[in-house]
Amino acid sequence: MRTLQQFDLVDTTLRDGEQTAGIVFSAEEKLNIVRTLSDMGIHWIEAGIPAMGEMEQRLLKEMLGMKLNTNLIAWNRAVIEDVDSSMRCGFSYIHVSVPVSDFNIQYKLKRDRAWVLSRLEQTLQYVKANGGVILLGAEDASRADKEFFLRIAELGYQYNAIRIRYADTVGCLNPFRAKEEFDYLVKRCALPIEFHGHNDFGMAMANSVAAYLSGIEFVSATSTGIGERAGNACLEEMVNTLDKLYGYHMDIQTEKMNQLTRTVERASGRKIYKFKPAIGMMA
């Protein structure tokens, strides 16, 4: 059985969850969600994207002033201006994300790997010089060359990054390939890894389980599983499954978690499916 020192969850309800098409949380709802997450015992919360504008920045500053018992993370592209917005809000934990698959680099950025490395390095230099703690994000890692992922991690290591996110951005992993890939990466990666799974094939939970079993140290999730397209790995389901199958018991306050589920259900306007594991009416 693993302990909290070896494995922990990262909540991204307020960032990837709210990024879902059609979902908008009000300021009050966001403050309520972050408070509940903190009270229930979540140690890492991706709070939002300061680069989205002044309104978002004002709210994030308010969050940072709430004296929560958790670590708040700001999500950024590898763009100095984005990072600046986060730093100005007062964030210490700066997530810097870059696409790492050749497919993304070629079709989305219309650049090459050298450009990605150079752009990332400039951004990391900037974060480090300004006293930020770096969390790296590797978008579309499940369709990327593993060696390039490791190269990105090495670069992060040089700038004291504390972990690297392996994002299954389009949810195309299956638990068999995931396990093989994670076993390989865990042994070689310069940084602790965080797995971030999407549910396009209904396997976000299974891939998160693969991550847990491979010794990956962090997994990200959203309350009720909201997220782009078919959503992300569901936080409540993760807490339930890891406890039930592997005896990994997070120090989560169940009552607070139920409160979070109801709050996110109401705020997202998405009624929880009757047959949703862990939180549906039939569970």
Which residues of this protein are in contact with another protein, per CB under 8 A?
18-22, 24-26, 29, 52-53, 55, 77, 103-104, 107-108, 140, 169-172, 174-176, 179, 199-206, 209-210, 213, 225-231, 234, 237, 240-241, 244-245, 267, 269-271, 273-278, 280, 282-283
Helix (H) or strand (E) holding 71: strand 71-77
Residue 172 CB, shortest distance to another protein, in Å, is 5
Residue 199 CB, shortest distance to another protein, in Å, is 5
Q: Considering beta carbons, is residue 158 or 174 the nearer one to another protein? A: 174
196: nearest Cα among 85, 90, 72, 44: 44
Residue 31 CB, shortest distance to another protein, in Å, is 14
Q: CB-based contacts of 174: which residues, under 8 Å, 6+ apart?
A: 201, 203, 206, 207
Residue 144 CB, shortest distance to another protein, in Å, is 13
Q: Considering beta carbons, is residue 115 or 273 the nearer one to another protein? A: 273
Distances (CA, A) of 202 to 167, 184, 214, 267: 16, 24, 20, 23
Helix (H) or strand (E) holding 146: helix 146-158
CB 242 within 8 Å of CB 212: yes
Q: Considering beta carbons, is residue 160 or 273 the nearer one to another protein? A: 273
Q: Considering beta carbons, is residue 42 or 242 the nearer one to another protein? A: 242
Residue 2 CB, shortest distance to another protein, in Å, is 15
Tokens matching residue 164: 């690297």
Q: Considering beta carbons, is residue 26 or 69 the nearer one to another protein? A: 26
Look at the block and give the residue holding tokens 């990262």.
10
Dist. CA 93–CA 193, nearest whole Å: 16
Residue 203 CB, shortest distance to another protein, in Å, is 5
Chain centroid to CA 283: how far?
26
Q: Considering beta carbons, is residue 56 or 217 the nearer one to another protein? A: 56
Residue 160 CB, shortest distance to another protein, in Å, is 27
Q: Considering beta carbons, is residue 88 or 108 the nearer one to another protein? A: 108
Dist. CA 2–CA 215, nearest whole Å: 9
Which of helix, strand or coil describes residue 219? strand
CB 43 within 8 Å of CB 8: yes
